[in-house]
Every structure is written in C-alpha cells, then in structure tokens.
Structure 1
Amino acid sequence: MMKDLTLEDFLQRNRISQEVWEASQLEWDMLRAIGLDHEANHEQLRACAELIARVMQTFTGVHSVRWRIKDTEHLLEKIVRKCSEQSAKYREISVENYFSIVTDLIGVRALHLFKDDCEDIDKAIRDGWPLAETPIVYTRKGDDAPENRFAEEAFAHQEHPKGYRSIHYIISTQPQRRMVFAEVQVRTIFEEGWSEIDHKVRYPNFSDNEHVSYFLGIFNRLAGQADEMGSFVKVLAEELQKTEARIVAVQKERAGALEAMEAALAELEKEKKQSAASEKLVNKLKTEMSKLKNSSTRETDLAHELTGARGLASTSISDLAKLYQADRDKVLRSTEAYLAASEAIHGPRMAAIKEWTDRQSQLTQAALSLGFPGLRNATNKKPEEQGED
C-alpha cells in the first residue's frame, strides 16, 4: 500500500539506483501522491478496462482479450525512469496530469490467430475509439517490410530492440469526468506466448545475460516462423476448401447431367413406345382414309348415276308427253270427225260427248300440272292449227 511505502523501500524493490533517482529530479512526496491517486481511481479504471475488453472480444479476427490495470509501483518506476532519461513528455508531470501523460494505465491485449487478422481488428479499433496517438507497428530485425500491410500515413514503424512484434494503439475514452487513456496491443497468439516467456525469463535477473538473450532470440524467430506457417496453413486450407467446393460443384453438375440423360433416355423410350402406337394408329387412319376415298368414288359414281337417271327420267317423261299429245290429238280429231259425221244421227247424245270432251281437257290440264311440258305446247295450239282427220 502506498500510504506505508517509503522511498528506500520503493528504490530497493524496483532496483532503482540512487544515481537514477537523483537524475530524475523528482520529489518523493509528489511521486507518492501520484501513487495514492492512482490507487483511488483503480475501480474506475477497472470498469473502463472491462468495457473495452468486452467490446474488443466481439471484433472479427479477435481470438481472446486480456487486460490489466498498471501496478502502482510499476507506474512510479516508469515515471522515475522516464524523468531520469530527460523525456520531454514527463518533464512537467504531476498528480494533476499524470493520467494523461502515462497512457498505459489501462493495458489491453487483443490476440489473434493469423497475421492478416490484424487488418480487420485495426479497422474495428479505429471505428470504435478516438486515437490519441499514431499507432506503432513494432517489428523484429530481419522481418519483411511492414509497409506491405500497414500504410505509412496510418502507422509509425519501429524495430523493437528486444524483437517484439506487435501493433500498439493509444485510445481515449471518457466514462466519467476524467479522460482515460488505454494502450491496446494487437499481436498473434505465438507472439504473445514468446513475449510472456521472454518477460518471465529475462526479468528481473537475466535482462542482460548474453546466453539467455541468444536462445530467446532463437525462440523469437521460431515464433515468427510459426506465425508464417499458421498463415500458410490457413491459405492452404482455404485453397483446399475452394478445390473441394469445385469438386462438389463438378460432381453435382455431373449428377445433374446424368439425371438429365436418364430423363432423356426415358423420354426417348416413351416416345419410342408412343411411336409404335402412333404408327399403328397411322396405319388404321390410312385404312379409314382409303375406305373414305372408295366411299367418295362410289358417291361420285352414284351421283353420276343419279344425274343420268334424272336425265333419262326427264327424257322419258318428255317422250311420254309427246306420245300422249299425239294420241290426244288423234283422239280429238277422230272425235271431232265423228261428231261432225254423227251430229245428225246422234243429236241427243251430243251433250254427253261434249261433256266427255271437257273432261278430257281437265285431265290434260292436270297432266300439265304434273310436269309434262310437251302437253303445255300441245294444248296451247289453236283449233285451226291442230288440223282435222
């Protein structure tokens, strides 16, 4: 607890030499006041860190999120170190402004599986919070140029002396009256594992050990190769999925083609059967047509016969009428002659004979009405044109 901490205990526990302390030109009372204020705001910082972590956990590409509130003595040690290095940013630090100068009071780490996941995470961070500083891309000596993924206008690029690979953002938020800053580190899980081991082994006893640094360097390169292998495996899996999808599509297409061919064959078979039935039906229709043609010929012949019969009937009727007219004329002439010769002898019977003659005229008129045109001409002749026997 800060209220019981003395300067001597602080310097000893944090391995700060007297020379460094004097070089910082800080007063213990002011430094202790900063520590007390930081502890007083711990719960507010904790709530803010939890909120940031929950939001980041929803980002595309984020595997897991870790967070921490800066330890009070680590905060004070950092201030002493920066001031001893004559950092311009820390020159005027005080209890009233330390929380805006030290921007990692809240630390958040967003971990991702594959290297290119950081692109989606970068966009989400920029959309979610204001950036207090230009993000920094830390690389290890020998790494490929980061400009391929991180544009210079959007990032600052630094080679980390300890070989860390990470992207650091300083975001700002204001849940209450005081502005709160948080450092967000985005790195792969392999880099996180290496950095945790490196920090655990180096500090506090082997920070300058040459042999430990050498093997940690090898470990660092292995972590970088593991990241590369992870990205390669991801691309390989994606290509395999695409290839498998193409194979499935071809198989579906083939199956569809086979189904279409089977359907076509079934249709052809059906048409073949229908063709046989149709051929039978066509032959039957041909037979019926032949019968109809024969029937038509017979009808034509009958029509000709009927026409001939009508003509013959007309001729016969005309001849019959002529014969009838001739016989009538002959009968009339004989009758008139007989009447003339016998008028004297048969006077009393003349009325009966005349009556009979009139009756014959009526019969002639009836014959004319039945269609004997020859009789019409005969009856229309005047008595003087008929002659006498």
Structure 2
Amino acid sequence: MIAPKKKSESVASILKAIREQYPVIEGFGTTVEAILTKDPRVVPVIHSFKRRLKEEKSIKEKIMKKRLSGVQIDSNNVFSEVTDIYAVRLIHLYPHDVRVVHNVIVDHAAKKDWILVEKPKAYTWDPDSIKFLKSLGLKCELKSSFYTSVHYLVKPRKNSAAICEIQVRSLLEEVWGEVDHKIKYKGLTEDERINEHLAVLARLISAGSRILSAIQKK
C-alpha cells in the first residue's frame, strides 16, 4: 500500500515561526551592520549602506515560489531556505574596493564575530569582473538578468536561526539594481523591450566601472 502523501505545513504556521524569531534575527543583523559600518578599514571605502528586514508578504511570496519549484519548506528548515530575512547592503564607489570589504568580512569570521554559512557568491556576467572576483576566492555565478552583487551569509553560531545576508556592490551597480527593482515592482519583467534596455544599461555600467577603476589607479 502506498503511504498517503504528507500534508505540507501551512504558510501561516511557518510565518508564525519566523515572527517568533524576528527579534533574534534583527538583533544579529543590526550587530553585523554596526561591526561593518564602524570598522576603520571599511569606513574609507564605503559610500553608503542600507538595511532591510523582509516583510511577511515578501517572505510568503518567496516560500510559495520555492514550493512551486519543488522545495519542501516548513518551520524546521525555513531559516536555511529563506536566508535574506535581514540584509545589510554596503555600497562602495570604486569597483576594486570590494577587496577591502571582503577581507574585513572574512577577518571577522576568523575572529568568531560570526560564521560564514556558505562560500561567498559573486553574481556577475562581466569577464573582467569574474577574473578579479575569483582572485579573491569568490564563487562566481551568472544571472540571466545581468544582476551584479557579492553576497555573504553569516550567522552568530552554527545552530542559530538568525542569518544576515551581506550584500556588497558598487554605486554604479546599485543604480542598475534600483532600476531593476522598480521594474519588478511594476510587473514589467515580461516586457522584452524593457529587458533589452536593462541589458544595455548593464553594459554601460560595466564600461563606467572600468573608467572608475582607471581613475582609481591614477
């Protein structure tokens, strides 16, 4: 006899579990933010920073999307499947300044201020950027959307539900990211012309990044 299929945990129940951990997640996230934004090695290269605690509506949408793709999510594994509930974004001016931020994040992990959940990822499509980022020991992945950013997942200890996503990107990459975000918010991601414009903008951003790198070397 075939055993009946186990019923999935309700999304409401999963959200309740997340809600209970919000203070812990936010507390750790603000600690990460404070450590990085006050580190004397980071301060000179950071243009600005942002923070975000993901709203329940966005978390629900992410859970539903993952379930539709076949991922089984419940209150036991949701914190390892939805890892961007709290995010800190550090924005630097010159492309190669990411090296400074990367070294600081890794250094704090070595000092046990946090642990790296996984190997840091660099999302990029530009060949020159791939070469540079790989030299830092970063795992490079390509996104068809032309999204570019370096992501780190850190947590205070191995068995903690609190994970903070650290996003590191240049000011020009932030411009592209903000435009892309607005387009998604307006539901225009299926518009082929818009996507073509985004691809052109990504190439212009890449060209601008090369110019900034040349200026920095002077």
What TM-score do you get using the length of structure 2 for normalisation?
Answer: 0.83
Ranges in structure 2 where 5+ consecutive residues have no aligned partner: 1-5, 109-113
> Which gives a bigger RCO, structure 1 or 2 (Cα 8 Å, sep 6+)?
2
Q: Counterpart in 1 of 2:116?
A: 131
The structure richer in helix per residue is: 1
Question: 8 Å contact 1:136–1:155 — kept in the other structure?
Answer: yes
Distance verdict in 2 for CA 1:219–1:148, change over 3 Å: closer
Q: Counterpart in 2 of 1:78?
A: 62
Q: After TM superposition, list the pairs within 5 Å mapping 1:84-95 onto structure 2.
A: 84-86=68-70, 90-91=71-72, 93-95=73-75
Q: Counterpart in 1 of 2:131?
A: 147
Tell me by how many angstroms 1:149 deviates.
4.0
Q: Counterpart in 1 of 2:187?
A: 205
2:197 pairs, out of 193, 215, 219, with 215
Q: Deviations over 1:198-239 (max 9, x none)?
A: 110233421110111111222222222222222212222xxx
Question: 8 Å contact 2:117–2:155 — kept in the other structure?
Answer: yes
Give RMSD over aligned pairs: 2.2
The reply to whether residue 119 of structure 1 matches residue 103 of structure 2 is no
Q: Counterpart in 2 of 1:373?
A: none
Tell me by how many angstroms 1:183 deviates.
1.4
Q: Counterpart in 2 of 1:101?
A: 81
Structure of greater Rg = 1
Q: Counterpart in 1 of 2:177?
A: 195
Distance verdict in 2 for CA 1:100–1:145, change over 3 Å: closer
Identical positions, percent? 25
The reply to whether residue 164 of structure 1 matches residue 147 of structure 2 is yes
Tell me by how many angstroms 1:133 deviates.
0.7
The aligned amino acid for 1:79 is I
SS state at 2:95 partner: coil
Tell me by how many angstroms 1:143 deviates.
3.4
The structure richer in strand per residue is: 2
Question: 8 Å contact 1:68–1:107 — kept in the other structure?
Answer: yes
Q: After TM superposition, list the pairs within 5 Å mapping 1:21-100 onto structure 2.
A: 27=8, 30-57=10-37, 58=39, 59-60=41-42, 61-86=45-70, 90-91=71-72, 93-100=73-80
Ranges in structure 1 where 5+ consecutive residues have no aligned partner: 1-24, 237-389
Question: 8 Å contact 1:172–1:182 — kept in the other structure?
Answer: yes
The reply to whether residue 233 of structure 1 matches residue 182 of structure 2 is no
State the aligned residue count: 203
The aligned amino acid for 2:61 is E
Q: Following superposition, which runs of at least 4 residues in structure 1 exceed 6 angstroms of deviation?
A: none
Q: Distance in 2 between matches of 1:103 and 1:30?
A: 19
The reply to whether residue 180 of structure 1 matches residue 165 of structure 2 is no
The aligned amino acid for 1:228 is R
Q: Distance in 2 between matches of 1:199 and 1:148?
A: 26
Question: 8 Å contact 1:166–1:187 — kept in the other structure?
Answer: yes
SS state at 1:164 partner: coil
Tell me by how many angstroms 1:26 deviates.
6.9
SS state at 1:187 partner: strand
